[in-house]
Amino acid sequence: MVFTMGRSDGGVAKGVEFPSLQVALDFTSWAEARRVVGSLSSLSGSRLMLEAGTPLIKGEGIYVVRRISEMAPWAPVVADLKTMDTAELEVSMAAEAGADAAVVSGVAPIETVRSFIEECRRKGMMSFVDSIGLEDPAALVKKAEGADVIVIHRGIDEESAGRGRRWSAIKALKDAGFRVAVAGGMDLEAASSALEAGADVLVVGRDITRSADPAGRVSEYLKLISGRGSPRPRRRRTSPAGTPALSWTPTHLSQTLSHQSSGRP
């Protein structure tokens, strides 16, 4: 399945095929991020996304998303906002900056999470709900109703303290109809086990960005996931407003396709 996104700013519609790789640019400056993005210029495809990491957005501002998109127009860009409040405002800011997807914190109030999901849908963006800070990611099943992806995330501080990964939650989330991303200290071995457990998105940061050859490392991950089909969610989910999840077409993309089919410019 290819999930098609289209930004509300009229940007080029981009598709994501699962399973996919999401390169987390968790730097604090654009200079560092630019080096990695530039090194990936020879790569493309529907299984590769780029993430404007939380530290990068905090260090450079939301328009770093635009810089990434301009350097890598072939890649969907995820804005890792980890929104806690003012969901509509933050999604609008991300959309204006050219984001194709955005992330809300799963520990945010349910009103914020639901508003975030709906605003992403209106803007033609994928919605990610991050489980960092939750003991059981599967607890998000009801709270994150309508979200496109739930992220099982082991934070850096948790990793440093020796906390293990929680792949056991993948099945419960998949059975509930969600796509599942895994993040936190990922390497090829962990990625392989996550894929075996049913993960749809591998969020990888340091193992790629600190590599002497980021493009080569990305190619290794893409080789790992190539040929693997990620099973679809077992049931169709609906957003809180009742619109289907994982099967919608953004409004401006629908208009573009209509114009193309009719021969209009």
Residue 218 confidence (pLDDT) above 90:
yes
Number of domains comprising the chain: 1
Greater pLDDT, 174 or 5? 174
Query: Average pLDDT of 216-238?
Result: 75
3-state SS, one letter per residue, for 45-105 = CCCEEEEECHHHHHHHCCCHHHHHHHHCCCCCEEEEEEECCCHHHHHHHHHHCCCCEEEEE
Beta-bridge mates of residue 22: 49, 203
The whole-model pTM stands at 0.84
Kindly give the pairing relationship between strand 77-83 and strand 48-52: parallel
What are the pLDDT digits (tens) for 48-94?
Answer: 999 999 999 999 999 999 999 999 999 999 999 999 999 999 999 99
CATH number at residue 256: 3.20.20.70
- 3-state SS assignment for residue 233: coil
**Domain range holding 67?**
2-262
